[in-house]
Structure 1
Amino acid sequence: MAAAFARIGDNRQVKTALFLIACGWAGAAPHFLLTQATKLVPAIALAILLGGYGLQKVLVDRRKTFLNTLEVPIDLADAGDWPSVDVLVAARDEEAVITRLVERLSALRYPEGKLSIWIIDDGSQDRTPILLKNLREQFPILHVICRDKDAGGGKSGALNAALTSVNGDWLLILDADAQFQPELLLRVVPYAEKAGWSAVQLRKAVVNAQQNLLTRVQAMEMAMDALIQKGRLAGGGVAELRGNGQLLQRETLQRCGGFNEETVTDDLDLSFRFLTLRAKIGILWNPPIQEEAVETFYALWRQRQRWAEGGLQRFFDYWPVLTSKQLSISQRFDLSCFFLLQYALPVVSISDLITTIFVRTTPSYWPLSIVAFLVSGLAYWRGCRTKSEGPTLPAPTFGSLLIAIIYLVHWFVVIPWVTIKMAIFPKRLVWVKTTHAGRQS
């Protein structure tokens, strides 16, 4: 099974070039092939189709689909009834947060003997190894695995290094800046077991939303993303993992060959690996996993380039399976619409804009772009108004919603730029990690 998955990432550069050509043609064609009166027809048709899809995901009733973890009784009397859990954290140069993380992990409430903590030090060059050595002496539950900086495989390689040592029924994957409630596992594990999920992704909440305007809109973006994720799943579509705060069934992870070391986003890739095995992924709004948002535009640019590249990679790698009858019709429709909105629309829009400038005509795809932004604004509003644990979400005022919508324009720059780079330059896999400052919730 692992070998089959390993071959799935071939010819990414060619696939990206074909995608770029197709989107370029789609953006330019209406200017040349259609009359002035009819050139908006493709955009209007797509706006109706994709706008309807987006509205359904934002407005769908999710109450009957998701269990309420607060209703799950917490009983630690009989530890034998609880599945074992291993917490895995891949860490590189995390001296600002590693001590706090281990202290919080050691405070997790769970039946004695059923929980282990694994930190993979992936060639840190700062004080992380020294801190981990001292923490290991202080907390017997902590296990530390050390890798060379050039061991390869990025974050996926670091996590795979621990898979040969762990034997828990469930694996909780966290980033080094993760913050969480002591009762996290007591609430999430019973939910996963009762619902029959193979994985559960927790809503990501931003702890430093009040730091500046950029972190505030990222907090709103995370709420919007979680809302749409739940809507996609409730509507018969596909839910995705988000890296930090993902609970994985170890047996299913082993069936799909572990983490893919040939991708820059292990979580997005793993989402599709689970999907090809028909393994269910659940989404939980509460309790959240708390993390830091990046605080500068340069850090955002680097992070979003990685996210965009990994997102495109997974579609190109797994598209034959994603479009096959192995998936349900609703899942295939969901993936197609999501791909068009998230990845094709930005590239088509840039092609439309460039053609408009050179041919000196009016843009063709503005109806679709307007509908996409309006649906995003509605998702912002609903997400920020949802009852939430953890850090307080920004109030969805008219001004904040307008700024958050404008903020989304960065994807119309990032995705075309990354697509061009992927089509021209062969990929050199490097773990470009996000720097953590140690902000508290």
Structure 2
Amino acid sequence: MAAVAVTGQYRRGKTALFLIACCCAGAAPHWMESESSLWPVLILVFLLGSHGLRTVFLRDREQSLVKSNSSSFQLIDEKSLPNVDVLIAARDEEAVIERLVAHIASLSYPKEKISTWIIDDGSQDRTPLILEKLCLQHKNLHVIRRSSSAGGGKSGALNKALTKVHGDWLLILDADAQLQQDSLHRLVSYARAGGWSAVQLRKAVINASENHLTSFQAMEMAMDAVIQQGRLAGRGVVELRGNGQLLFRPVIDQCGGFNEDTVTDDLDLSFRLLISGALVGILWDPPVQEEGVGTIPGLWRQRQRWAEGGLQRFLDYWPLLMSNRLTFLQRWDLMCFFLLQYSLPIVSLFDLITSVVTRTMPVYWPLSIAAFSISGLAYWRGCRTISEGPELPSPDPFRLLMAIIYLGHWFVVIPWVTVRMAVFPKKLVWAKTNHHGQQTVQV
């Protein structure tokens, strides 16, 4: 398994070409005969919609496989447990860092086999002082300090830690993460039994009851896990989500570590692992619990970063993603996901603009309806699933409708970020999410 070459050049040009292609796709049907303009869209509805439905319902197969083979996922004997290094990149996390260290210290994992490494990435608040005090209390806690100008963002911080740690596995956590006492033991046992090179824990929002925005994010995380499990069951692609990801250290080294030329280390690493042939799994329970973003400006900043990093990886790795390194099912899954997640919002925008200019009806509405309907089904199935950790919001009709409307923010974020990427040069900065530490874990 060789390191995957990073092809992060010419992103502005690639983004501009993608934007132009979406513009043409959105406008072209309005100059076709009215009888035939809907046929290409209806074909896409059938192809992408059937794949989406298959993914949501295949999730049951993945769940049943885990249950039917539960005997093979029994907890590993403590003597056989591997060494694990817990890595946390932290900047200005005074509100949550002490709580995180307490959660890690309470894990039911042999103390001699776990080490915690916190990379203080130029914090300007009380984080360094708190870490100094915590180091005196926890002998397995190590602090690595970087200046705020060190560069590379979160990936640079994690790469710095890779030069110092020697464990068999890496557990990557955000500073606001909260775990159950047996989470690591169960996670390692699942990874070893399934032969996974990486495993992502389901993300659960701890402050779902704070307001409507955090409630919708809790539903969104459940929806995402349902889709991820379905993609896995359909032999498609499972992606890492940053917080709560367990990584086999030798595979990470062979992939070249973390890419410092990206704003989303987790999404980029997902493709590097995929291209390298590494197996990535997802575990519904136990979840990793984290804070949802409680304000619209905070959500806007977070989603811009996610959208930019998500699109970047397709632009960087598309020749390898279309090569024989991937199976047909993996390539098909990626193409469907790309068209629905990144192309559809931009195409729909230009479809709407052209319909106003030409005084014709929009054309792509059937595809948008199909995409939102599949998302609503995944919402419903995820929120009705028995889960550990915070109680998931009830998917009653009104809340389900509002959560679907909430997803419409991607139809604003994706076009805006794509235009920005095509016009302005990128300056890599760590646009972190602020954490407040107001909630505690539920077991």
Q: Deviation of residue 3 (structure 1)?
A: 7.8
Q: Which amino acid aligns with 1:46?
A: L
Matching residue of 2:219: 220
Q: Which amino acid aligns with 1:386?
A: T
Q: Where does 1:214-253 land on structure 2 (aligned, <5 Å)?
A: 214-253=213-252
CA distance in 2, matches of 1:431, 1:70: 40
CA distance in 1, matches of 2:157, 2:264: 13
Q: Which amino acid aligns with 2:315?
A: F
1:122–1:158: 8 Å Cα contact kept in structure 2?
yes
1:69–1:187: 8 Å Cα contact kept in structure 2?
no
Q: Where does 1:269-348 land on structure 2 (aligned, <5 Å)?
A: 269-348=268-347
CA distance in 2, matches of 1:318, 1:66: 32
Matching residue of 1:58: 56
CA distance in 2, matches of 1:291, 1:84: 25
Q: Where does 1:147-158 land on structure 2 (aligned, <5 Å)?
A: 147-158=146-157
Give CA deviations for 1:249-269 in whole Å, capped at 9, x if unaligned.
000000011100000000000
CA distance in 2, matches of 1:284, 1:306: 25
CA distance in 2, matches of 1:25, 1:114: 56
CA distance in 1, matches of 2:177, 2:69: 20
Q: Where does 1:425-440 land on structure 2 (aligned, <5 Å)?
A: 425-440=424-439
Matching residue of 1:409: 408
2:2–2:276: 8 Å Cα contact kept in structure 1?
no
1:264 matched to 2:263? yes
Give CA deviations for 1:204-258 in whole Å, capped at 9, x if unaligned.
0000000000000010000000000000010010000000000000000000111
Q: Deviation of residue 108 (structure 1)?
A: 1.0
1:203–1:286: 8 Å Cα contact kept in structure 2?
yes
CA distance in 1, matches of 2:2, 2:284: 32
Aligned Cα root-mean-square deviation (Å): 1.4
Q: Which amino acid aligns with 1:345?
A: L
CA distance in 2, matches of 1:112, 1:416: 48
Matching residue of 2:84: 85
Q: Where does 1:178-189 land on structure 2 (aligned, <5 Å)?
A: 178-189=177-188
1:101–1:176: 8 Å Cα contact kept in structure 2?
yes
Matching residue of 2:139: 140
1:117 matched to 2:116? yes
1:41 matched to 2:17? no
Q: Deviation of residue 325 (structure 1)?
A: 1.0
Same amino acid, percent of matched pairs:
64
2:4–2:275: 8 Å Cα contact kept in structure 1?
no
Unpaired segments ≥5 residues, structure 2:
none
CA distance in 1, matches of 2:70, 2:345: 40
CA distance in 2, matches of 1:321, 1:4: 9
Q: Where do 4+ consecutive residues of structure 1 move more than 2 Å?
A: 1-6, 63-76
Give CA deviations for 1:173-226 in whole Å, capped at 9, x if unaligned.
000000010111110101101100000000000000000000000100000000
1:26 matched to 2:12? no
Q: Which amino acid aligns with 1:391?
A: P
Q: Deviation of residue 64 (structure 1)?
A: 4.4
Give CA deviations for 1:8-30 in whole Å, capped at 9, x if unaligned.
11111111001000000000000
Q: Deviation of residue 319 (structure 1)?
A: 0.4
CA distance in 2, matches of 1:55, 1:69: 25
Structure 1 pair 45–289 and aligned structure 2 pair: CA distance change class (3 A): same
Unpaired segments ≥5 residues, structure 1:
none
SS in 1 for 2:107: coil
Matching residue of 1:385: 384
CA distance in 1, matches of 2:128, 2:243: 22
CA distance in 2, matches of 1:54, 1:419: 24
**TM-score, normalised via structure 2 length:** 0.96
CA distance in 2, matches of 1:433, 1:390: 25
CA distance in 1, matches of 2:74, 2:64: 19
CA distance in 1, matches of 2:320, 2:101: 40
Q: Deviation of residue 439 (structure 1)?
A: 2.6
1:65–1:234: 8 Å Cα contact kept in structure 2?
no
Matching residue of 1:171: 170
Matching residue of 2:210: 211
Q: Which amino acid aligns with 1:177?
A: D
